[in-house]
Amino acid sequence: APQPPTLNRGGLSDVRMVAELIRTEEAKPQLGATLPDCPSTAWSEVLDIKQWQETYKAEDDVACPVEVHATPEDNAMGKEYFVQRREEIQEMLTKHGTIWFRGFDLTKDPDGFREFWESLQLNPCLDPIHSSGLRKFLSKKDAIYEEVNKQSLAKHYIGLHQESTYKKTATAGAFVCFQPATVSGGEFFIADGEKIFRDMDPEIMELICERQVRISVSNLDLDVLGVFPGDSKEKVMEAVRQKVAEAVAPKFDMDLDMIWGTDGRDMRLQAIEHAQSPINRHPVTGRPLWFCNIHNHARFLRERRPCTVPEVGMTDVYYGNLDIIPGEVLQHINEVCEKNIVRVPMEAGDILLCDNYRVLHGRDVFEGERLHAVSWFGSEPGKAAERGAGDILNGFINSALGS
């Protein structure tokens, strides 16, 4: 069988070649066409916010992530190391929310990364927004998506978020580093949703829970429609809204509403998710946690840090009735999130196995070439998804990025 090329910090061509190699004579099953859909989001109301915050403050602090360092003996075992420790690893994940596997030789290429999560009997699934076409596979046959490594977004700071929509949420994610940024930056970072919940001002959190949150995922500026006079313009705008809703919204499978002028720009059509709570209960432990992507999606915050997303892909957050969330509220959320961020300087072969309900993740800006990837998992095996990936909005955004 062909041997994979040696990985180095000088480029990514070898790593991308490895993504297409079969390391054994007997090929592994092709997963790309058989992956089940991402599971539905499990929502559960949280009562007694202040009481739960006091409970969390009284508990001993739990490390997130917990680190597991490979020894020479561990590496000699290959995938058997993970097979033998499957139950122990699951218990660690439940307790800590994230496990950082460091120094394992097995996971330095896509084939070995797949062996890692197969050894743990994890159930791969599609990305929550796979149908939008915004997520690119690094190795489709191995259910491995590429993270945001493109040069056009290298200077874009990705804030904390769960891989989740109102409708769909992956149960867990395994993030792997095949190549750290060759010059600088690009650190992965995480934050424990229980700790964010604990540290949030209870009055602010109760206010947001009462008013709920809606996330705008895209903007379409259609000023050209302004040339139509009076009632004609309104009729054309409604016709366009319906056409876009029919063409774009289903591709996201996100329960989107197409709405004009939410941010004060009359000729801007925004795709906005349904109202949702910013907190949730973990579907297994029942413990409350911060379950909201405001830190990543709020325009108020994006405009105050490195951001290179084109206007069509610029996101924002509103209250459930589409009122603007005040800057002081967003700033408090930002401060609490930043306080709980843990930076994870991953090296080639390192893996972060994350509970996607409990733990939020993000990525810093970088220089040079970088190749990180991820596989998503559901709680149990499922049937192959019927929906394919669309490319309508993906085409808009990529054309704006010049990639």
Residue ranges of domains in the chain: 35-44+61-201+340-401, 204-333
Token pair of 1, please? 């069988």
Categorize the per-residue pLDDT at 218 as very low, low, confident or very high, splitting at 50, 70 and 90.
confident
pLDDT at 26: 47
> Cα torsion for 100, 103, 105, 108, to the nearest 10°?
60
User: Exposure string (b/e) for 324-359, b if CB count within 10 Å is 16 or more?
Assistant: bbeeebbeebbebbeebbbebebebbbbbbbbbbbb
Tell me how far apart the alpha carbons of residues 189 and 157 are, in angstroms, rounded to a whole number.
11
Share of the chain above pLDDT 90, in %: 68
CA distance to 213, 247, 266, 322, per residue, from 262 (Å)? 14, 20, 8, 7
Token pair of 184, please? 């600088």
pLDDT at 249: 63
Query: What does the pLDDT average to over 194-220?
Result: 96
pTM (predicted TM-score): 0.87
Categorize the per-residue pLDDT at 395 as very low, low, confident or very high, splitting at 50, 70 and 90.
very low
Looking at domain 35-44+61-201+340-401, what is its CATH homologous superfamily?
Answer: Clavaminate synthase-like (3.60.130.10)
Tell me how far apart the alpha carbons of residues 294 and 213 are, in angstroms, rounded to a whole number.
9
**Sign of the C-alpha dihedral, residues 70, 92, 139, 156?**
negative
CB proximity list for 402: less than 8 A, separation 6 or greater:
152
Q: Which residue has the higher pLDDT, 306 or 391?
A: 306
CB proximity list for 309: less than 8 A, separation 6 or greater:
153, 156, 302, 315, 397
Q: Are 260 and 269 in contact (CB under 8 A)?
A: yes
Tell which phi-psi region holds residue 96, choosing left (phi > 0), alpha (psi between -120 and 50) or beta: alpha
Share of the chain above pLDDT 70, in %: 86
Query: What does the pLDDT average to over 36-63?
Result: 96
pLDDT at 250: 66
Q: Are 12 and 172 in contact (CB under 8 A)?
A: no
**Sign of the C-alpha dihedral, residues 82, 340, 147, 136?**
positive
- Of 230-234, 265-269, 315-319, which range is least confident? 230-234
Tell me how far apart the alpha carbons of residues 223 and 120 are, in angstroms, rounded to a whole number.
52
Tell me how far apart the alpha carbons of residues 215 and 257 are, in angstroms, rounded to a whole number.
10
pLDDT at 223: 82
How confident is the model over 104-121, as pLDDT tens digits? 999 999 999 999 999 999
